[in-house]
Amino acid sequence: MSESILVVGGAGYIGSHMVKQLRLAGFAATVADDLSSGHREAAQGAPLFVGDIGDADFVDRVLRETKPAAVMHFASFIQVGESVADPAKYYRNNVAATQTLLDGMRAHGVDRFIFSSTAAIFGDPQYVPIDESHPKAPINPYGRSKWFVEQMLEDYDRAYGLKSICLRYFNAAGADPDGELGECHEPETHLIPLILQVASGRRAHINVFGEDYATPDGTCVRDYIHVADLCDAHLLSLHRLLDGAGSARYNLGNGNGYSVREVIEAARRVTGHPIPTHVGPRREGDPPVLVADAGAARKTLGWQPLYADLDTIVAHAWAWERRHADWATR
């Protein structure tokens, strides 16, 4: 009998890709999602519980009915600017609701947890590439909310034996290589889908926020990691926890930095569209360079990204944009 895995936020961007990978790996995935930003179709027919993980009764029902061997948690609010304007929303959902989920797990004897963390816990980098020992100094409520949960998980391990693996994403990007799933946030804030919306005619231009950074072309440099590669790291982490490994923290990125202008050029190559740009002032809180040192995940998990090439990442996202742009308006 397949082991049951609960995917919280499994109707969202990364969570839905994880549901597919779990199914292909022989696990029985169940989705819990409030559908505030996810899509029912993205659950791909997996059992779907619609509700808020901040509701202890809902969490109790889901865990009682699914009896998962582990929980994967993707259900977080992720917009940095919004977190500054409305920090209460972020602490309530990203921290308090996560604690409700963890306490429900304790009550049901579920002691394996994989958490979607973020490079935002590091704040302004003191050095790059950024490894796991880099100081943690988040500069916005979003990053602080993720760092709070990481610290909570350390305490829950010491006190209750709940084992967790936190995966710190840099810039998740791309789409399912088979074209079945992709990114469709509303509003969209990620660079690659915004650029591709220009190419498909849904936007007139792409905004470039600042061109006077201390980088080769003056625009910010980021580390883009394919969503399928992120899910591979989750799957490897799941196997480690199921095999009895202890808690761990890993940075996930390709180790290659691409500037905003390099991403736009890649999209021009892939789409054949000119993609007009408008240059504006810098956004507050944007570091010049964020690049991951993912050596620990490669060494310990045996993780090897398959889609590290930027043009491949953009091509998969472009295939999704052309086929499924209507999802963004549903």
Q: What residues are labeled active site?
A: 142
Question: Hey, what are 161's tokens?
Answer: 């034996």
Q: 191 by DSSP, 3-state: which?
A: helix
- To the nearest 10°, report the CA torsion of 35, 41, 47, 50: 20
Question: Hey, what are 34's tokens?
Answer: 């409030």
CA distances from 240 to 14, 107, 164, 180, 234 (A): 20, 23, 10, 28, 10
Residue of 236, 254, 305, 282 whose CA lies nearest to 130:
254
Q: What is the largest CA-CA distance in the chain?
A: 57
Question: Hey, what are 127's tokens?
Answer: 């050095």
116 forms beta bridges with 167
Question: Hey, what are 14's tokens?
Answer: 């990364």
Burial (CB < 10 A; 0-12, 13-18, 19+), residue 75, is buried
Burial (CB < 10 A; 0-12, 13-18, 19+), residue 170, is buried
Residue of 13, 19, 151, 16 whose CA lies nearest to 5:
19
